[in-house]
Amino acid sequence: EPEVTQTPSHQVTQMGQEVILRCVPISNHLYFYWYRQILGQKVEFLVSFYNNEISEKSEIFDDQFSVERPDGSNFTLKIRSTKLEDSAMYFCASQDPNSGANVLTFGAGSRLTVL
Amino acid sequence: AQRVTQPEKLLSVFKGAPVELKCNYSYSGSPELFWYVQYSRQRLQLLLRHISRESIKGFTADLNKGETSFHLKKPFAQEEDSAMYYCALSPYNFNKFYFGSGTKLNVKP
């Protein structure tokens, strides 16, 4: 069964450093998402991406965040200058709107620890 | 505003007991409702959707528009059901999903 893959599984970084989290969505999916889950809290929407541009973003997704799909397969989330409160599990998800099923398929997540 | 509420953070039951995980939502239109499950050290995965009206792993959920609820039920809990359960809502222009805060189900032997 096709999967959404995410790398790295865990990254530890110093506050102020840049981090790039990578995702390979399912190949025929067209919508891509990033969600985050701070330890013990709920899964929060960050951003959705369609047709090579952001379709929607939350208040959390401020100027320090950016997304891109540089090569048609990878979908990346960049955090420019990490803060302690960015420590969380980041989930990538993809969706095929043409399947008739409004379903997100999630990756296993990337755990980011900011020291 | 769209909002999903799961009032219980933790639900502990004994094996064989009935389970009901509560989910209430507020949305001005007609959303699609889902339950996602996250087993220990695994990814979030879809458990069921309200429009499918199916039973998955013995779980069912009925959308009650009058009460704006989408509670997840299982008549006889199993130990392998222990996991985090998230209720989610998606408007029908489906490029955004809203998740509840999750309920941890602990099924004791």
Contact assessment for residue A90 and residue A19, using Cβ atoms and an 8 Å cutoff: no
Cβ-based contacts of B96 with chain A (< 8 Å): 45, 48, 56
Distance from A98 to chain B by nearest Cα, in Å? 12
The contacts of residue A71 (CB under 8 Å, 6+ apart) are none
pLDDT digits (tens, 9 = 90+) for A12-36: 999 999 999 999 999 888 899 999 9
Contact between chains at B97 and A31 (C-beta distance less than 8 A): no
Contact between chains at A91 and B43 (C-beta distance less than 8 A): yes
Residue B13 banded pLDDT, cuts 50, 70, 90: very high
Counting one residue from chain A and one from chain B, the pairs whose CB atoms sit within 8 A come to 48
Cβ-based contacts of B32 with chain A (< 8 Å): 102
Give the torsion sign (CA, B46, A19, A42, B66). negative
**What integer pLDDT is reported at residue B65 of this predicted model?**
87
Query: A57 to chain B: nearest residue by CA?
Result: B96
Round to whole Å and give the CA distance between B93 and B65.
19
Task: Taking residues A39-68, report their average pLDDT.
Answer: 90
Give the torsion sign (CA, A50, A61, A56, A46). positive
Q: How far separated are the first and last CA of chain B, in Å rounded?
A: 41
What is the pLDDT of chain A when averaged over all its residues?
Answer: 91
Residue A103 banded pLDDT, cuts 50, 70, 90: confident
The contacts of residue A7 (CB under 8 Å, 6+ apart) are A21, A22, A110
Contact between chains at B46 and A108 (C-beta distance less than 8 A): no
Query: Which value, in Å, is the radius of gyration of the alpha carbons in chain A?
Result: 13
pLDDT digits (tens, 9 = 90+) for B57-103: 999 998 898 899 999 999 999 999 999 999 999 887 666 788 998 99
Q: Which two tokens stand for residue A46?
A: 């960050």
> Taking 60 as the threshold, does the pLDDT of residue A6 lie above it?
yes
Look-up: residue for tokens 């990337």? A110
Distance from B74 to chain A by nearest Cα, in Å? 22
> Taking 80 as the threshold, does the pLDDT of residue A98 lie above it?
no
Q: Are strands B24-26 and B3-5 parallel, antiparallel or unpaired?
A: antiparallel
**What integer pLDDT is reported at residue B11 of this predicted model?**
97
How buried is A95 (Cβ within 10 angstroms: 0-12 exposed, 13-18 middle, 19+ buried)?
A: buried
> Taking 60 as the threshold, does the pLDDT of residue B2 lie above it?
no
**What integer pLDDT is reported at residue A100 of this predicted model?**
67
Round to whole Å and give the CA distance between B101 and B109.
26
Out of A29-43, A95-109, B47-61, B64-78, the most confident range is: B64-78
Contact between chains at B95 and A109 (C-beta distance less than 8 A): no
> Taking 90 as the threshold, does the pLDDT of residue A77 lie above it?
yes
